[in-house]
A = this chain, B = another copy of it.
């Protein structure tokens, strides 16, 4: 995985096999990248809690709004009913409607959904308009359907891919990043996985190194720069936790973002969507066995660490990108940064 390849390991807990959200058993990710001509730099990233019929087998879920300047749809029903019945689609700000249509195109026609007349499509976004012709609304419902269809477990491609194709983070090229933590058996043995679409600003710090300061690139260094942008964060776990504790876990993801130097500026849409995959916890079963409150703190730490590392990974995986109007966003100078950790 990205940052660890450069000798940088964050936190005190241990990643899972892929250091990815897919380390949570059953979770699948699918991505469609739209990189066409000089101006189209966008795409779709789909995260699926499982690959069965999600409407029929909903999973416990919660949303936490770090800063609500954003267009994430589906939030109020998740908060009210405590569950998720749709794939999670990430895309660009003006393509949220395409995301919803794509979800409906997929879900309404699954076997067993013949009479479904109400479905809570969940679509998040960040604004890739600096590198992408966002007003062109190039993402189509079919791209969304495709991302859902090709979703699979295992390693996840990071960086300039899917919904991260055109994003910018701390002034460097951002993108899709992922990470995970597997708790020791003594703390329950559960896995927490995180996937982010990084597109925000602040004063970058990595593992406590004030990288942004050292590189002289940060928000408010002078008046001209802004920390705006957004971060969509998806947190998955196989721990049997209900909506209430999932919301608490979601809140910790923003603490992970804070550790990277993000400040959730006014113009940033920083959202976390957390879900649990545990079968026995499927709400349709009518019976649940959930963790007690005092068993969730290790999951909090795991969510913080995995979010921090997923964001840093998105920076390490991303490469220079030339896009709209010939604009270029450079990748993080990885060698320079990793050198800081070898000194």
Chain A residues near B (Cβ < 8 Å): 11-13, 65-77, 79-82, 93-94, 96-98, 100-101, 104, 108, 116-121, 127, 129, 134-135, 137, 186-187, 202-203, 205-210, 213, 218-221, 223, 226-228, 242-244, 248, 251-252, 254-259, 262-267, 269, 271, 283-284, 286-290, 292-298, 300-301, 304
Contacts and interface: CB of A to CB of B under 8 A. Distances in A.
Given A75-B76, A205-B259, 8 more contacts: A69-B80, A71-B118, A73-B73, A94-B104, A97-B104, A116-B135, A187-B220, A255-B262
Among A11, A118, A221, A228, the one with the most B-chain Cβ atoms within 10 Å of its Cβ is: A118
B117 A227 contact: no
A252 B266 contact: no
Contacts of A271: 76
A289 B292 contact: no
Given A81-B68, A289-B287, A300 B12 contact: no
- Which 8 interchain pairs have the tightest Cβ spacing? A208-B208, A68-B80, A255-B258, A117-B129, A68-B76, A258-B258, A97-B100, A265-B297
Contacts of A118: 71, 93-94, 127, 129
Nearest to A100: B97
A301 B202 contact: yes
Given A258-B304, A288-B289, A252 B264 contact: yes
Contact of A100 (B13, B65, B100, B242): B100
